[in-house]
Structure formats: structure tokens, C-alpha cells
Structure 1
Amino acid sequence: MTYSLYLAHINDTHSHFEPTLVHFEVTINQEVYQVDAYCGGYARFATAVKQHQDLAKQNNSSSLFLHAGDSFQGSLYFSQFKGEANAHLLNLMSVDAMTIGNHEFDLGNAPVSKFVDQVNFPCLAGNMDLSQEDQQKHLPLAPNNNLYYYNNELAIANYLLKPLGDQQLAIVGITHDQMHNIGCPDADCHFLNAIKTTQATVKHLKQQGVNHIIILSHLGYDGDIALAKAVTGISVIVGGHSHTLTGDFKHLGLASTGNSGQWQNECLILQAGKHAESIGLSCLHFDKNGKVIKLEGGTQFLIDDNWQAKQNGQMVCNETRRLISDYLATAPGLLKCSDDQQISEIINQQYRPVVEQMKSQVVTMLSQPLRHSRMPNKELPNGSEIAPLICQGFYQASAAKHPTDFALHNAGGVRVSLKAGPLSKADICGRLLPFEITLMSYLIKGEDLAMAIEGAINNATNNGLMGTGDGSFPYFFKLRYSYQAHKPLGQRVSQIQLEEEQGWQALQPQRVYRGVSSAYTLAGKEGYDALLNSWDHHDLELSMSDSFVAFASSKQYLV
């Protein structure tokens, strides 16, 4: 006997409620064309999911709609409405379950608790251990009835059970077990090993006679592969975090896993891209032992007819456009989809007016472009032209409340380069600094500051350790240094100087300095471990983007 499930899934939507511009490259009759199309968005998602669920009913099959985490952050809609708008719209889309991603924790646990309380679907983090959580603090997580976290009594993840014919289907949520390195959860919130938790939970489920098991994961594609190889008996992993397109999208000019890359240890791995551009729409056929024996469908980019096509920078003629239109109508991975009227009206009437106002609010002018590179290179030997200015904004915000010696920001917290011309509040909050993270002032000894600088650069360059990416590279205001990669660990940073009233002065190892950074960096992420030795922390009650808006507003021309 076989069992079918109509599965819709999304991940890493990052508050992109409206369609996102996607650049495709298609080849027709050996001619290559660039197609720019606005894809996805929550209103189209709602339509596609409803159609998928209707198809399931017509075929007397079960259906599920799953979110694999990172609903928070990423757009003006989050910076203005935090998780409230996300909860409102996801409720209307009839999500069956969502795993909590790392960006849900960017502002600590309280916003997560508020979000979980607002949504009408289960939120899963089966390897999140709340046994030591302070229940007297503001908005603890454990009391939320629809939060499925680690079961300390059974030493497994709490899980959902759904009917699948005459069988039961289990959904287990597993989030990133390095959460304290990549997110900002509260200190009393712990994350257990993803593989060990999954092994114990799958073993328990098998003992209960449950063979059809979906792991709703926020581990990233490589993490999902490792999980599938380590744990036998998983039917499907529906993942997120790495923004991966599972399936074959070479014909659209997009990087993807290829069809063979979706299978590991008889487990099917699915992930649906990023930023609400695309959605997974599949029909899965299982045998009685829980193995997927047939996959129909896959990830789809939801498009409409408002696309543009160019060749060598020139718009194509009408005849060529018709050829491309015919190609797009039948190409795998593309689905023409209309907007759900209710969700479209809510976005337009309740949320978009605030965003449009920000787009019209010009903060300052740029007389020349400002380029952003995470690390110095041949074109930009001093690295980012923007990050030091953002640090200057941090410094201005901190100095207004405390005598401040320096400002520090990590390169990955800056997202785009800027063109010359007007710079709007929307550009700053929605594109340049889209992560809504607060600024923190703190005291630190000179020797610990030196260790933090080296740790961040070592992490960015993988110099003697396995780093987490070049986003950790440090930028400063009122501080300069020399880094020599060939020297032994702990001796690579030298000639550290801070700008004081009497000019540039050498860093004193035992002297105490006041710095300002984002709460993310101060939490010791990505090589900044030495910042954990800081003290006297003060929340400036300003986000990164707030401080830069204030700084840029004070200048008629930023550059």
C-alpha cells in the first residue's frame, strides 16, 4: 500500500511579503536571454497553497504547509512591525507548522515568545532545552502551549502527529544547534546536538509504530545531508537556513543541487530557496515503511506576466518576447500565479503605507557611490567605504549618552553598496542595514579588545581555524591597527591606536575603554569571543539603522 502527501513548504522568507525581483537566464534556439521577473510574495503563496490543498482534496490525499524558519528580519516590514505582521499574514496562509530559525532570535527570546503566542500554528524547536529558563522573566518561552521544544523527561524532541491514511505522520522540528554562535538567544535557553536529538526521537517514533517522519529543519543544506547520513529512518527533511534550491534549475541560470543531490541514505531533502521568491509544491508517495518512493513536483518560482527580457542589455523585440513567453509557460520550476485578494489588500492597506512613507523620506545625499566589500581587495584596499561611516553613526549614538572611545561593526551587518544621489530612510532600514538589532555600549580592557580584533579577522580569513565567513571582518571608528597573517596565533594584531584629543595613541593593554557595537557582535559571535569579557553593558535603545539614519540626517551630503 502507498500513501500520498501534498506538501507545500517555504523557508527563509525574511519578511519579504511582496514579490521579489529574480534574474533568470534562459537559452532558446542557442540564444541566451536575461529575464527579470518579480516572483513570489505572500499573496501568491496563499493562492498556490490553496490550489495545492484543493488538489489534495480532489485526490483524497493529505496535505501540509510547512515553514522551515527565518520568517523574521530582512525587510522594512520587519523593521517597522517586528514579528506582528509576520504572525498576522502567516496565520491567514494556514501554516501547519514552523521551525524557529536563528534570525527569530536576533532580538533575544521575548520577540519569539510574543510571535509564538500570536500565531495559530505550532512552532517547533525540538532540540531547544528550556529546563533552565527563568520563568519570572518577561515573556518566557516555556509557557507557550503551541511551542514544541525538548522533552527532558523522555530525552527526545516533542513532535506533532498528523493522519496519513491509516498511518500517522510525525513532524519533528530541529533548529540550528550552534544558535548561540549565530543568533542572540537568552543565556538560559540552550540548544542540544541536532543529530543526537533526532536519533533519539526517530528511535522513539519507530518504537511507537510511526514510520513516516518529516524533520522540519533549520540546519542548512549541508547540515541536512549530515543529518540524513547519520540518522536512518527519516522519510523527508524539509530544510532552511542556507537558502538552497533543491532540484535542477540550470535551465533558468540558477545554482541548485540537481535532482540526485536531494537523496541521502534513502531520505529526501527539500529546501525552497529564499526571500519568498519560491515555494516547494510536491506530491510525495510513501511506502508503508515511510520511504518516499516517488516525488512529483518541486520548487516553483511564482511569476506573472509582468516580466522583462533583454539580450546584451537591449530589450527584445515582440517576436522574441513571444518565444520567451512560450518557454516560460512550460519551463519546469515556473508557475504562473495570481494574488490572493485578502492578503494583498491587508498588505496594501495595513502595512505598505508606512513602507512607502519611508521610501519618500530622503535622509541625505550621496555625491558619489559608496562601495561595500566585506574585506579589503585590490579594488578597495581599505575595504568597505560604507562600514566606517556606519561605525561613525554608532559612535555618535553612544557618545550622546556615554564618553565613548571607539565603535566597531562586523562587515556582514552591512548588506549593499550605495549609488550616488538621494539616500532614503527605506534604503537604510530596508537594504543597507535590514537586520533590526540594537546597539550596546560597554567597557573592555585593551588586551581583550586586541584579542577581539584578531579573532574576528582570523575567523574571516580562516587563518588557523575553521571560520564562519568573511562577514566577521571588523570595521572601526576612532581605531586603527596592523594585522600580519604570518605571525603566530595571538600575535597577529599590532600597532593598535585609538584617536583621542591629543591625537592617535597606542592601545594600553590594562586600560579600560568604552566601545559601542551591535548586540549581535557583543554576544561574541563569529570570532568576537573576547568581547564576552566586556562589562557595564548599556542598551542604547536604538537599532543599527536608527543610529545611521540619525547620523546621515545631520549631514546635507554624506560624502
Structure 2
Amino acid sequence: MSKKNRKFLATTVTAAAVAAVLAPSVSADELKFTDVSDTYADAVNFLVGNGITKGVEDTKFGTHQNITRVDAAVLVARALGFDENGKYKDAGFTDVPDRAKWAVNALVQNNVVDGLSTTKFGSYDNLTRGQTAKLLANAAKLPVNDGVTKTKFTDVNENFAKYVDALVREGVTKGKEETKFGANDAVKRGELALFLDRAKEHFGFFDLFVMHTNDTHAKADMGPKRATAVKELRSEHKNNLLVDAGDVFSGTLYFNEFQGAADLQMMNYMGYDAMTFGNHEFDLGSSEEGHKALASFVKNAKFPMLSANLDFSKDELFIGLQNNRYTSDYSNGIYDGIVVDVNGEEVGIFGLTTEETPTISSTGEVQFANYVEKAKEAVAAFEARGVDKIIALTHLGYNDSLNFDNDLELAKKVEGIDIIVGGHTHSELKDPVVSNEFDAPTIIVQAGTQSKYLGTLNAVFNEDGVVTSFGGELVKVGDFEADAKAEEILAPYKKKVDELMNQSTGVSTEVALDGGRDSNNEGNSSVRHNETNLGNLITDGMLATAKTINDKTTIAMQNGGGIRASIDEGDITVGEVMTVLPFGNALAIMELKGSEIKAALEHSVSADLRDDKTGLKESGAFLHVSGLKFEYDSSKPAGERVTKVEVSEGDKFVALDDAKTYFVATNTFTAAGGDGYDMFGKAYADGRVSEPGNVDYQMFIDYLNVLDKVAPAVEGRIVDVNPAAAKTVAE
């Protein structure tokens, strides 16, 4: 069944958000209700999001107000989907107001409720908890045992016992105390909201809890804590899925040594339901063994790999592994999409991988097809099977360059996708984002990188398979205790990695590499306010890597805040490199005008002057550079300090041309506007940033190993022409 012409009951987002194409999610209590605590928030979201109720006032839900029998009848009738304009037999009650006759008549006609007498419904009487049990048990068609005449609750009489028993068995309520149900107590609006929310699946709604990861980049050491988070959340949400949006490969010594095996052990233990391919899954394609490690990953995974737009048929390593179909009959292997049975409800999941991959990784014989066309085929395939809850598991990037693809564009171009679980851009979407391009919404989520977060999304579908309310957050993995069994599984891998951390890179430096700050360099040098030999070495390595991907790249920039330590003269260990560059920042290549580069350099040297006026105070935004040199005067006002900029052109330096376009390498943090680089952020938003994703410390190690000797120097790439600063340097 197509979702065309269905309407999104979007009261979980503001009116402005509904009118907009894209908006962050907003919970009911964030919207307007000042009396909705965390206890009631999800339930109120469900009711408001599905148009079952509003509130007693614009800013009050009336959580602690008693609800009358007639108002409760209206809520239950709406939850059951009865039409306010429908024709129902008159129940004959004289005390039902006109606004609610449809609801009471519908409920009576369907044997959900009766009156207090043949002519009186008791419209304005408070609904009691005993009456609520009967009302909900009938409405939800719960399995009622007529033989039950009493319960453990001493205040429940024979008339209500079987209904209370049914609600307790279904987990709708427990009772107020161990032996007290509160049968004669008036029900509050908040209480009824909780009851209806807990019984919603019996009214045709489906509550799906999606746990998701992406771009974990071989952070296998976070696996034990992630396992605990998954286990705890799974126990709290019976209708759950656990999926990964790609780039498990590349980024730490776990990958360098075990090529995905350690991460796969963790994922198998956690019970992932599906994963899609990221660009880094193809990093080994140009090696002597090609994609052997990736094929092994697919074979040994206890979950399917999904990608509707990849064709592995020309690579012999994947013979027998790819199934070009959408199916509920799956095991491991590669599928276009799968139909997952989640407690009796069918959920379709398909995968997409960025078409940028062949330009930023080593795909070999693997072929890529257009993501929009394949997504439309996937939706059609699922709908033809009667599957109306559809998830796209993508490695496209949330807002990546439209020269290739991204999730925002996918949501705009393809109707019928309910949820997009994304990766590639390392976006920390702390709140889900909703696209209202079509009548039914598409919810977009992504969970950062490095296994820092476990993403969560709780989506409620109505009986037509449309998301009607939702909420989500990024759960910090580091806040959980490690799972003992997961630690046991990881132990042999960790032992080897710990040994490697103390292992030499195979390279020695002839000079100390300065990554210090004023506090440990006696105030004479800091990676946060002046050129250092380590900053030069890092940016040279970044530029060398970027050139292998885009040979037009001529400049590299590294924020000083990303350089965290120095390296002593002598042997360089892997552990030392990872201490210098601990964040695992990835490579980005920006397409910038000379004027934007000039503006970035102004921002780089915009920190306040030191008290003695001899130079700048420390700033994490200070840029180290390669392929470029510039002069500035720290004595001038911020924004007017850069006096000269030259870029490398062949074997000489020439003046920066404001109108010319340059390709500039940096890390993804800075490229996305981190450290206040708004001009980079604009280029990112414009789609002028490519993210090949090579990890900084690995680029650095690789570069060290191609040098004849390691003896970088301060070369005058960044010069403060402030006379006071020059005098200090001379001294």
C-alpha cells in the first residue's frame, strides 16, 4: 500500500516545523506543556502526536487533573480510530454533550463501554481506575479470563477483577500498591495517557526502538561498554533493532592488525540485525589480497550486510555471497534489503553506500549504482510485499557534497522511507531530524563517530505504517560499565594491540618534535599560537595523502588544538603518535576561494594579545599549514592582521589569488566549521567538501615511513611581523 496522500499527525513538532521541509524533533513537554514531567513525556507525545488529545490549555496538559468519563470516551474512541463524522447508533444517553456523542455511541456500538444506567452515561463523573480497567481491556480486546473473580488487590471487586487481571498481565498497569489497585480512585489525565501509551499496540500502533551506530572506525575497545548499553536498552524495549551504517573498518591498531575481525566479534556478540558498507570497508582493495578481509567479514558476520546500489559480481572473492533481492528468508551474506520480523510486525531495511567511494577508497571491481534510483526500487519492492515500515541504512553522509549523495537529498527525492539511519559525515544528530517533503515524514538519525555514542530512536507507527510520533537521543557509551563477557572476547585482541602501542613505527626523529604549549614550553612556543616543526610535519603528511586522492590539492591546514603532545628525539612509537593525535580525526578536502582561505587565516590569528603585547594568546583554532605561508601583525586589530599570503606553485611561492579556487586538506572537525571556522562550515553546507576519511595518525605514520629522514624545522611558514614579537623571538 502506497503512503501517498497520507497525512502526518505532526503535533510532536511545532507548526513552523511542519511547514518547513526539515526540522529537529520536539517533544510534547518541550513544545508547550509545563506540567509534563519525564514520567509522562512519552505517553503525552504519543497522544498529542496522534491527534488523540491536545491539552486543557495551551501550556497545560492537565497531567494531574481528574478525567471525566465522557472525556475518556473521546480519547479512547480517537485511539481506536473511530471517525468523529461517522454514523453510529444512538446509545440513548441523555447526559452526553453533542461534542462527544459520536465517541460514546461508537464505543457502545462496539461493546467497549456501557452507561451507568440505560439513560445515563455518567458523562461528568470522574472515571475510576476500576472503570478504566474495563474500558481499556474491552477497547484493546485484551484476552480477558471470565473465570477470574478476584486478584491480589483487595480493593477490586468481582465485577472488575477479570479486567484488572488482563491489564496487569499485559503490562498496562501494576497497581498503586502491592495489594491496592486504587479501584475507586479517580484517574488523572496523565494516568490515562500512560495506560493508553502502554496499550497502544492493541490499538493498531507499533512502537519500534532502533539502536544505531556508524563510523566506529575500529574502536573495538569501546565494544564492551557498548555491549552493556545495548543489553540494558534492549531489555527496556521489546520491539528493538540494532543496526550499523558502515565504516567499521580503518582507524585503530585493531584494524591494522586484525582487519575487522575484532570488531566483528563484538558486533556478533551484541547481536546486530544488519549493517551497510561504508567507504572504508573497501580500503584494502588495492592490497595484494584485495577485498579478502571484507569477504571474510561478510562470511563470518552473524547478520546480513545490506546495499541496494552495490554489485560485487565481478569480484571472485564474493561469489556466492551476494543475493540481489529483498527477502525475509535471509542469514548472513549481502542483500539489497531484508524484511525483519519484529515481534510479528514486518520492517523492511535496505542499504546504500556513497557513490563517492571509488574516488576515496579502493573499490576494485565493485560497481556502484545511483542511490536515488535504487532507493525508489527498494521502497517499491517492500510495498509490493505489503511492508509499510521502511528503514534506509545508509553510508551517504547527512549533508555531504551533492556532487555525490546525502541523506537530506535522499529524504527529499524518495517517498516512502520512514527512517534513515546514516553515516559517513560523523554527524552528531543529538535530536532526530524530520523531513516533511512528502505527506508521510522521514526521520533522519546519525550517531557521530568512534563509538562515542549509541544512537537511539523510538518511533511510533500507526496502522498505515506512518511514523506519527518519535523521539531519540545519543547515549554516551563511556557512561556504561564494561560487559564482562565482551571483555573476555576482546582480551586476546587487546593484548596484541597493547603490545603494538609500544612498538616502533620503524622511524626515528633526529630532532625533538614540538607539540607543546606555553605551560610546558616555558612560554616560548605553543602549537596554539606559533609555527612548530611538528605542526609542519603533520600538515606535510596530510597534504601528501590528500594529493594521492585529489592531485589538485595544494594546501593543508591543521588546527593547533588537535595536536596534543610532543615527541622526543629518537625512536617514534605508535603510542606516541596516537598521543599526539588522539581524536582519530579524518581527512577532508575543501574547495575554497582564495578569499575564504584569507578569511580563515584571519580567524586563525584572531586571539587576543598577550598581556606583554609580544604575540597572541593560545587558541585551539590556530592553524599550522603546508603548501602555504603567511605573515600577520599581532599588534593590529583582529580581522585585519594578515599582511601577506603565498601559496606553493611548482617550485616557488606566489601570491594568493582571492578569486581563484584552491583545494585545501584539513580534518573533518575543522572542515565542518569547528573552532569557529564558519567559512569552512559554509563550504561544507554548500557541498564543497569531500571526506575520504583517512585517519590523521595513520596518515602521519605512513608519511614518516616514506621520508629519508625525520628532521623537520620551523621554516617561516607563519611569521608574526609585530616588532615586539620579533624582538622576543630574537632574544
Indicate how the Cα distance of structure 1 residues 232 and 145 shifts in structure 2: closer, same or farther if over 3 A, else same. closer
CA distance in 1, matches of 2:496, 2:346: 45
Indicate how the Cα distance of structure 1 residues 149 and 134 shifts in structure 2: closer, same or farther if over 3 A, else same. farther
Determine whether 1:115 maps to 2:290.
no
Indicate how the Cα distance of structure 1 residues 239 and 557 shifts in structure 2: closer, same or farther if over 3 A, else same. closer
Query: In the alignment, what sits opposite 1:420?
Result: 566
Query: In the alignment, what sits opposite 1:286?
Result: 461
Query: In the alignment, what sits opposite 1:47?
Result: 228
Query: In the alignment, what sits opposite 1:185?
Result: 363
Query: In the alignment, what sits opposite 1:344?
Result: 487
Q: How does 1:270-419 map to 2 (within 5 A)?
A: 270-304=445-479, 337-359=480-502, 361=504, 364=508, 367-369=512-514, 385-387=536-538, 390=541, 411=556, 417=563, 419=565
Structure 1 residue 482, shift from structure 2 partner: 3.7
Determine whether 1:245 maps to 2:245.
no
Q: SS of the residue aligned with 2:377? A: helix
Query: In the alignment, what sits opposite 1:523?
Result: none
Structure 1 residue 281, shift from structure 2 partner: 2.8
Indicate how the Cα distance of structure 1 residues 94 and 489 shifts in structure 2: closer, same or farther if over 3 A, else same. same
CA distance in 1, matches of 2:233, 2:267: 17
Larger Rg: 2
Contact 2:420 2:444 (C-alpha < 8 Å) held by counterparts: yes
Structure 1 residue 198, shift from structure 2 partner: 0.5
Indicate how the Cα distance of structure 1 residues 429 and 125 shifts in structure 2: closer, same or farther if over 3 A, else same. farther
Q: SS of the residue aligned with 2:485? A: helix
Q: SS of the residue aligned with 2:215? A: coil
How many residues are aligned here?
393
Greater strand content: 1
Which amino acid in structure 2 is aligned with residue 480 of structure 1?
D
Structure 1 residue 134, shift from structure 2 partner: 4.5
Which amino acid in structure 1 is aligned with residue 447 of structure 2?
A
CA distance in 2, matches of 1:196, 1:206: 16
Indicate how the Cα distance of structure 1 residues 558 and 412 shifts in structure 2: closer, same or farther if over 3 A, else same. closer
After superposition, the C-alpha distances for 1:333-371 in whole angstroms (9 at most, x for unaligned) are: xxxx22111212333343244334423658646524159
CA distance in 2, matches of 1:262, 1:166: 27
After superposition, the C-alpha distances for 1:59-104 in whole angstroms (9 at most, x for unaligned) are: xx43211001111111122122222222222222211111100111
Which amino acid in structure 1 is aligned with residue 461 of structure 2?
F
Determine whether 1:235 maps to 2:386.
no
Indicate how the Cα distance of structure 1 residues 392 and 460 shifts in structure 2: closer, same or farther if over 3 A, else same. closer
Indicate how the Cα distance of structure 1 residues 485 and 130 shifts in structure 2: closer, same or farther if over 3 A, else same. farther
Which amino acid in structure 2 is aligned with residue 213 of structure 1?
I
Indicate how the Cα distance of structure 1 residues 289 and 198 shifts in structure 2: closer, same or farther if over 3 A, else same. same
Contact 1:11 1:71 (C-alpha < 8 Å) held by counterparts: yes
Q: How does 1:202-281 map to 2 (within 5 A)?
A: 202-222=379-399, 223-247=406-430, 258=431, 261-265=433-437, 266-281=441-456
Which amino acid in structure 2 is aligned with residue 123 of structure 1?
M
CA distance in 1, matches of 2:711, 2:277: 42
Contact 2:264 2:301 (C-alpha < 8 Å) held by counterparts: yes
Which amino acid in structure 2 is aligned with residue 170 of structure 1?
G
CA distance in 2, matches of 1:300, 1:226: 26
Structure 1 residue 189, shift from structure 2 partner: 1.8
CA distance in 2, matches of 1:63, 1:298: 15
CA distance in 2, matches of 1:114, 1:412: 37
After superposition, the C-alpha distances for 1:442-492 in whole angstroms (9 at most, x for unaligned) are: xxxxxxxxxxxxxx99x6425799xxx999x976999734456549989x9
Which amino acid in structure 2 is aligned with residue 16 of structure 1?
K
Q: SS of the residue aligned with 1:211? A: coil
Query: In the alignment, what sits opposite 2:219?
Result: 16
Contact 1:212 1:290 (C-alpha < 8 Å) held by counterparts: yes
Which amino acid in structure 2 is aligned with residue 274 of structure 1?
T
Indicate how the Cα distance of structure 1 residues 558 and 283 shifts in structure 2: closer, same or farther if over 3 A, else same. same
Listed as ranges, the gaps of 5+ residues in structure 2 are 1-203, 328-334, 400-405, 517-527, 546-550, 602-622, 629-647, 664-688, 691-697, 715-731
Higher relative contact order (CA 8 A, sep 6+): 1
CA distance in 2, matches of 1:212, 1:391: 43
Indicate how the Cα distance of structure 1 residues 148 and 120 shifts in structure 2: closer, same or farther if over 3 A, else same. farther
Indicate how the Cα distance of structure 1 residues 339 and 412 shifts in structure 2: closer, same or farther if over 3 A, else same. farther
Indicate how the Cα distance of structure 1 residues 62 and 286 shifts in structure 2: closer, same or farther if over 3 A, else same. same
